[in-house]
Structure 1
Amino acid sequence: MRKIVLAKSAGFCYGVRRAVELAEEKAAQGIPCVMLGPIIHNRDVIDRLAAQGLRVVDRPEQVPDGSAVIIRSHGESRAVHEHFAWRWIEVFDATCPNVTHIHQIVEEAELRGRQPVIVGTPDHPEVLAIAGWCKAPVVLSGEKDLEKWLESGENRNNLPLTFVSQTTSTQKIWENCVKKAKKLCTNAEFFDTICGATSKRQEEARQLAAQCGLMVVVGDRQSSNTKRLGEICRESCPEVLLIERAGDIELDRLPQADMVGITAGASTPAWIIKEVFDKMSEEILEMDKSFQEMLEESFKTLNNGDKVTGTVVAITPTEVQVELGIKYPGYIALTELSDDPTVKVEDIVKVGDEIESIVMQVSDRDCMVKLSKRRLDINKGWEEIEAARENETVVEGFVTEDNKGGVVVSVKGVRVFVPASQTGLPRETPMSALLKQKVRLVITEVNRARRRVVGSISRVTRAERAAAAEKVWAEIEDGKRYTGTVKSLTSYGAFVDIGGVDGMVHISELSWSRIKHPSEVVKVGDTVDVYVISADKEKKKISLGMKDHSQDPWTVFTTTYQVGDTANVRVVKLMTFGAFAEVVPGVDGLIHISQLADHRVEKPGDVVAEGDKVDVKITDVDMENKKISLSIRALLEPSYDEEGEEPSIEE
């Protein structure tokens, strides 16, 4: 043998380490306590805990009155928790957070009227615990079981299915089940709840096994996790040895191999791995340095301010839990994850991701390390802020505070003050209008010693607007269409920003209908489609239109009405000689004063008012001059007989 290599993720996972440390803590405190079932699948660890005074009981009824109980990392059913609550027994819950998350998923799924389906080894204690959080669980070991269950018709109520996976299943088994379910089921939902640390350990073991002539898998023979590692290694390596401890190794009987790989199940402590390594090193000439370094890492201590990299193993509503490869787990509170108040946790990290953070506190009492990604980002942010000031580059940030003097923008976690004069807001606009807005700015002053940074939003706005305006003037031409924003209104029209340049839409070009004020058609802030009527590049003036010229109002009128038709029209203007009324938008007709009523009218206002809707008869159309004569009187006078004689009064 020449070389030995250890898989980086070998040994205790976060959940197991957390459970063992909780048990050791309670033993050290001298609290009368028992463990319900082996806290993890490792006899050596259980024997060590027994030596500290923690014995194992098999059933909840065996927990003595007055004693506390430790729930193992695999978790227990809801009924077990209710049993202890009923007996007023104190519970120290060492259930892995990943497993607790699965409990919540299946419980909520059933409450929503769905059928929970658990993919995993049916008799595994962790699977039994998950099944104990719903009334009618279905446990399947793989895609063949799934197919048989679906064909059996046992889902008689045809409930929609919710799939979860337990870590005794491999990623391949899970993916095959998902693929099969998507073909055979409708409205199914899938939660890939295989622990990220487990998936990572299995993949590293697979890759290492492909390079080695011998793989040594260390772990308890009752551990499903360890058994899976052995199965995975056998797929790629000709010789695989499963052992529980160093004493199981017979050096003179080890197969010859140029390279030996070692991996260990999630329930294997570092001291057992070290014993295995020490014994094997007696026969191995070359040792991979990363192996020794990893063992040292598992025992090393951290100090506040240290930068660390770990693997995300669980995400809860309040924190992200990180495996650091040391004796304590790491926690990042959601408030310490990002300085961006709008960002979602899932957009930053997922279970299985590597994450870099900074140590805020190492608590030996609580057996944990408090971490912050946000503060690490802030430290990096200062470097980026200084570079942005030097290079005059534009940065982005969120407005987090406002006052009379200006606003505070968070850029890369660094507070940047923007004076009111540099916000770009009109004087009458309150600074609060920018709160929670994403803005672009340049850094104008940096004093890291005083933690002072000043920036300007308006400089960016002016520069971007100037660049946009230059582009508009270079490309503008009559008839070109733009999408713009209404900036202001006057009595004679509306000013529209078409991308750095304002153009005016005259009131007559806002609508085919007759209007008194632009506000009848648009309001400030509206997005409108406009076209260029004319552009004077020397005077920097642009005339815009909004009316749709693709449909001529006169054509609309002539194709809709003809002489003799009745129309409902709107009175738009009164004159001494009659009233003008809109027949269709953009086309008015005249109701002469003599045609306003069937009696003499002194002035039009005695009969109609602007805005009135009235029925009229179209009596004449001057096609050449586009003039229309309308009459109310023609609809009020009695009809004539076919010969045109007026009926007598007697009739």
Structure 2
Amino acid sequence: MRPSLELARSAGFCYGVRRAVHMAESASQSGRPCVMLGSIIHNQSVIEYLEAQGVALIRSPEEAPPGADVIIRSHGEGRTVYEALRLRGCPMIDATCPNVSRIHQIVSDAEVAGRQVVIIGMPDHPEVAAIAGWCRHPAVLANARELENWLLQEPERREKPVTMVSQTTSTRQLWDSCVEKAKKLCTNSKIFDTICNATCKRQSEAQEIAARCEAMIVIGGRESSNTKRLVELCEALCPQVVWIERAAELEPSTLCRKASIGITAGASTPEWIIKEVYDKMSDEIMEIEESFAELLEKSIKTLNTGEKVTGVVTGITPTEIYVDLGTKHAGYIPVSELTDDPTVKVEDLVHVGDEIETYVMRVNDQEGVVTLSKKRLDTVKSWDDIEQAKEEHTTVEGVVTEENKGGVVVSIKGVRVFVPASQTGLPRDAAMSELLKQKVRLRITEVNRARRRVVGSIRAVAAEERAAKAAEVWANIEEGKRYNGTVKSLTSYGAFVDIGGVDGMVHISELSWSRIKHPSEVVSVGDPVEVYVISFDPEKKKISLGMKDHSQDPWSVFTGKYNVGDTANVKVVKLMTFGAFAEIVPGVDGLIHISQIADHRIDKPGDVLSEGQMVDVKITDIDFDHKKVSLSIRALLEDAQRTQSSEDEGDAVVASADGDGTQVAEDFQD
């Protein structure tokens, strides 16, 4: 039985490594002297190949020949290296992986903000050393145990603001354990997950293959950190793991009795080495189901302007999105070419690891870069969708991007749609600017692709939706039913409320238990309100609504709180010729007759009282049958006078008693 062979799709160069190697190849063909500062990737075969192309290897900036271009390796370098090369006047070709450059920016910003930088990674790894070179006093820790020990050594460290990043090739398990420890022990931490998505994908796929295969072949340099981790992960799941750098190290006969063999490779392993290993295994023990040559051809295929291509998002920055197209070219999408919608955030549209279909705008073979556009591809598709929407009378959605003479412009997936002012649905005197940056639904009324002209109507959709809602309201309306509505307008006699496509009126008397002069004292246009149906007439399309809570009967509230003879602080709400009405509790008024306003004769209530005034009164009578209350200010004044008279008489009695007592004492002495 011939063993099956499974090659990991993620094996080999990642985006950052492929970019670095291509930049070095381009530099070697430029005609200018160039050197690489340290091995640009961890693969000796690639380094030897580049040296054969004339790219010499140096170990320090001081070794750089005057005037020679210096290639910064994919692992990056610290700030001092860049400064040293500038002082020597050496032009730099920065091949630092974009994911690593992002970490440099994070730790640099953290230092400026006064935060302590913590780097989770191998201290002697060049990538980690470079990251540490962008801040003054970083803590470089290998795992969660070291992180815990470092935090507990000096208690004040737990109180300091900490920014934590990871080596891009760390394992997810190691990083998650560090994150858990940091969240538990630090009081002020900012944690950035900087593990490369390609690394995670490669490790995850290697584990999946190792779990189902009897043997694994891991290809990669002995100095490669990510290859070493692949070996460790595979050894935990597979009984036999072989780590090789080149096909010459492989002895297929040791694997021929295995029923299934998996192959993976580190990020610094070029395709041609993987092909060597794959071909050797093929020649010795198996037939290849899919020619590796075909896979390799896909990776080196050429691209043309105007072509539609599919790739995987490998990195996101504030200005561009990096896309791995599976070719020697490094693809990127400028943020301006991602979408026309100004309200959308980049992180809401794309994520690292997403597969994305794009349009090739420009190919720069010299630099190995392809400029891509998601927006232009979407625009082509959008025109088809717009024409279909016009034919099928369907509703589309877009964002208002500008105010135009006579209307507004709506962007629908990159297509500009003009909406005349009369079709915006706004009142005649409203400003078109109210719609700017708003999402709207509209109907396409005219399409002329040749002239790139599209006309739409927001009003048509709004009218249809309102009509449908109105029909639903009338079909289900009944007395007492409650609705959540919105106040649409106010009049002197009430408020009109939209209960979902239909307006009903709340009479001023139904707005509040309190006596009010105008609805604006209770509600404003635009307020959300809860109302209930008092009555309705389907033929005349009229609905009478109420807002007052009838479960709280004001008369019951009043009688539960006051009795005849009680004193109350009331509000004068209306003056009449015969007296004044005063609100005792919301919804219950009492009458202060003109004869009960003062303890002397007055011509009219307005001589003593004014509307809105708060006064103390005595409740002199309650007519429970007719729910009427009589109030008196005069009674309170007379009560006060009687009380004062009683106190004065008491004082006089005491004074008289004191005089008599003195006289008796004098008589007794005589």
In structure 1, the residue matched to 2:504 is: 503
Percent sequence identity is 67
In structure 1, the residue matched to 2:354 is: 353
1:21-55 per-residue CA deviation (whole Å, 9 max, x = no partner) reads 33333343344544322111122222333334433
1:199-228 per-residue CA deviation (whole Å, 9 max, x = no partner) reads 122223333444555543332221112222
RMSD, matched Cα: 3.1
Whole-angstrom distance in 2 between the partners of 1:110 and 1:565? 72
User: In structure 1, what residue type is equivalent to 2:73?
Assistant: R
Whole-angstrom distance in 1 between the partners of 2:34 and 2:259? 49
Whole-angstrom distance in 1 between the partners of 2:71 and 2:541? 80
Q: Secondary structure of the equivalent of 1:48?
A: helix
Whole-angstrom distance in 2 between the partners of 1:284 and 1:416? 63
Q: TM-score, normalised by structure 1?
A: 0.90
Greater Cα offset, 497-506 or 70-79: 70-79
Whole-angstrom distance in 1 between the partners of 2:462 and 2:135? 57
Note if contact 1:640-1:647 (Cα within 8 Å) is conserved in structure 2: no
Whole-angstrom distance in 2 between the partners of 1:633 and 1:641? 12
1:348-370 per-residue CA deviation (whole Å, 9 max, x = no partner) reads 22222222212111122432111
Instruction: Name the CA shift for 1:508/1:491 in 2 (closer, same or farther; >3 Å).
Output: same
Whole-angstrom distance in 2 between the partners of 1:319 and 1:488? 48
Greater Cα offset, 305-314 or 401-410: 401-410
Q: Secondary structure of the equivalent of 1:193?
A: coil
Q: Secondary structure of the equivalent of 1:29?
A: coil
Greater Cα offset, 239-248 or 424-433: 239-248
Q: TM-score, normalised by structure 2?
A: 0.88
Quote how far apart the aligned CAs of 1:638 are.
8.3
Counting only pairs closer than 5 Å after superposition, residues 231-270 of structure 1 correspond to structure 2 as 231-249=232-250, 255-257=256-258, 260-270=261-271
In structure 2, the residue matched to 1:11 is: 12
Instruction: Name the CA shift for 1:614/1:309 in 2 (closer, same or farther; >3 Å).
Output: same
In structure 2, the residue matched to 1:561 is: 562
Instruction: Name the CA shift for 1:112/1:563 in 2 (closer, same or farther; >3 Å).
Output: farther
Quote how far apart the aligned CAs of 1:134 are.
3.2
In structure 2, the residue matched to 1:35 is: 36
In structure 2, the residue matched to 1:421 is: 422
Quote how far apart the aligned CAs of 1:504 are.
0.5
Counting only pairs closer than 5 Å after superposition, residues 302-341 of structure 1 correspond to structure 2 as 302-341=303-342
Greater Cα offset, 303-312 or 139-148: 139-148
Whole-angstrom distance in 2 between the partners of 1:251 and 1:572? 103
1:228-286 per-residue CA deviation (whole Å, 9 max, x = no partner) reads 22333334444443332344445677645565544322112233334444555543552
Whole-angstrom distance in 2 between the partners of 1:51 and 1:149? 46
Answer yes or no: is 1:494 the counterpart of 2:505.
no
Q: Secondary structure of the equivalent of 2:401?
A: strand
Greater Cα offset, 418-427 or 207-216: 207-216
Note if contact 2:361-2:370 (Cα within 8 Å) is conserved in structure 1: yes
Greater Cα offset, 551-560 or 504-513: 551-560
User: In structure 2, what residue type is equivalent to 1:456?
Assistant: S
Quote how far apart the aligned CAs of 1:496 are.
0.5
Matched pairs, number: 650
1:400-451 per-residue CA deviation (whole Å, 9 max, x = no partner) reads 2333433332223333333333332222223332222222223334343443
Q: Secondary structure of the equivalent of 2:207?
A: helix
User: In structure 1, what residue type is equivalent to 2:536?
Assistant: A
In structure 2, the residue matched to 1:535 is: 536
Greater Cα offset, 513-522 or 149-158: 149-158
Greater Cα offset, 120-129 or 607-616: 607-616
Greater Cα offset, 489-498 or 152-161: 152-161
Note if contact 1:569-1:581 (Cα within 8 Å) is conserved in structure 2: yes
Quote how far apart the aligned CAs of 1:322 are.
0.9
User: In structure 1, what residue type is equivalent to 2:29?
Assistant: A
Whole-angstrom distance in 1 between the partners of 2:573 and 2:3? 101
In structure 1, the residue matched to 2:122 is: 121
Whole-angstrom distance in 2 between the partners of 1:475 and 1:513? 32
For the pair shown, which has the larger CA radius of gyration, 1 or 2?
2
Quote how far apart the aligned CAs of 1:303 are.
1.1
Greater Cα offset, 195-204 or 622-631: 622-631
Gaps of 5+ in 2: 653-670
Whole-angstrom distance in 1 between the partners of 2:157 and 2:180? 22
User: In structure 2, what residue type is equivalent to 1:346?
Assistant: E
Counting only pairs closer than 5 Å after superposition, residues 151-550 of structure 1 correspond to structure 2 as 152=153, 156-159=157-160, 161-182=162-183, 188-210=189-211, 212=213, 214-249=215-250, 255-257=256-258, 260-283=261-284, 286-289=287-290, 291-550=292-551
Greater Cα offset, 270-279 or 475-484: 270-279
Whole-angstrom distance in 2 between the partners of 1:59 and 1:617? 99
Gaps of 5+ in 1: none
Whole-angstrom distance in 2 between the partners of 1:284 and 1:429? 79
Whole-angstrom distance in 1 between the partners of 2:275 and 2:441? 54
Whole-angstrom distance in 2 between the partners of 1:620 and 1:258? 104
Whole-angstrom distance in 1 between the partners of 2:583 and 2:643? 32
Q: Secondary structure of the equivalent of 2:29?
A: helix
Note if contact 1:10-1:266 (Cα within 8 Å) is conserved in structure 2: yes
Quote how far apart the aligned CAs of 1:145 are.
3.5
Note if contact 1:487-1:495 (Cα within 8 Å) is conserved in structure 2: yes
Whole-angstrom distance in 2 between the partners of 1:491 and 1:91? 77
In structure 1, the residue matched to 2:656 is: none
Note if contact 2:481-2:532 (Cα within 8 Å) is conserved in structure 1: yes
Whole-angstrom distance in 1 between the partners of 2:202 and 2:439? 41
Q: Secondary structure of the equivalent of 1:283?
A: helix
Greater Cα offset, 502-511 or 394-403: 394-403
User: In structure 2, what residue type is equivalent to 1:529?
Assistant: E
User: In structure 2, what residue type is equivalent to 1:476?
Assistant: I
In structure 1, the residue matched to 2:660 is: none
Quote how far apart the aligned CAs of 1:93 are.
2.4
